[in-house]
Amino acid sequence: MLMETLSFRRMTLVLGLSLATLLTGCAATQVQSTGELLRGPLCQPGSPPVSTVIYWAPQWRVDQKEPVRRELAALRGIQDFAARTDCLAVRGIHRLSATQPLSNDAELQRLPGGGRDAPALLLLVVVRELGPRLEIGLPWVLEGGTEASIEVRVLDTRTSTRLANAQTLWRNGGRWVIKGVGTLDRDMSAALTATLMATPSTGTP
């Protein structure tokens, strides 16, 4: 009787560990970028920093959950990207309101920080999605993770040239992966790095 009880406990433990391993899954990162992409990294790490100002704005869907929390995560992610990218000298990070221009390069250049004594680069970051994702299919296939959907425009003020106008969908996750909101700031930073610092040949920074 004792041996049967021990065997049952071992079997329960093995099944529990197997289920935990299955549900944990293996996360992978996927990046899809379209539009006018940079021909190479925005700047070369270790080179003299290029003066830069970043403007950003959220454009959530109507039913977006917890927009304030996501905006804070987006801002922290932008700040993290600026701090980690040593070849950019970011003078300021400014949030645009819904009434400020987003589509016209000339209007962007006239915003505070883009006029006299303008930085060499202006970046406009539009955040359309930042959060967890969870899809349940049949038969009993669960796929989840987190995603960031952003649009990034880069303007060279020295020549009034648009260097990029890219749309990036960044995802980290996979089958049997469940993630919360704890990594959203890092996800935002990673999406910016993938968009602005990747090499075309490898697609990685």
Q: Which domains does the chain have, with CATH numbers?
A: 24-196 (3.40.50)
Q: By C-alpha distance, which of 171, 164, 174 is closest to 34?
A: 164
The pTM of the full predicted model, rounded to 2 decimals, is: 0.81
Residue range 37-74, pLDDT digits in tens: 999 999 999 999 999 999 999 999 888 899 999 999 99
At residue 203, the pLDDT reads: 45
- What is the Cα–Cα distance from 167 to 157, expressed in whole angstroms? 21
Calpha distance 204→143 (Å, rounded): 24
* Mean pLDDT, all residues of the chain: 84
Helix (H) or strand (E) holding 148: strand 141-156
The stretches in the chain having pLDDT less than 50 are: 2-6, 8, 10-22, 202-204
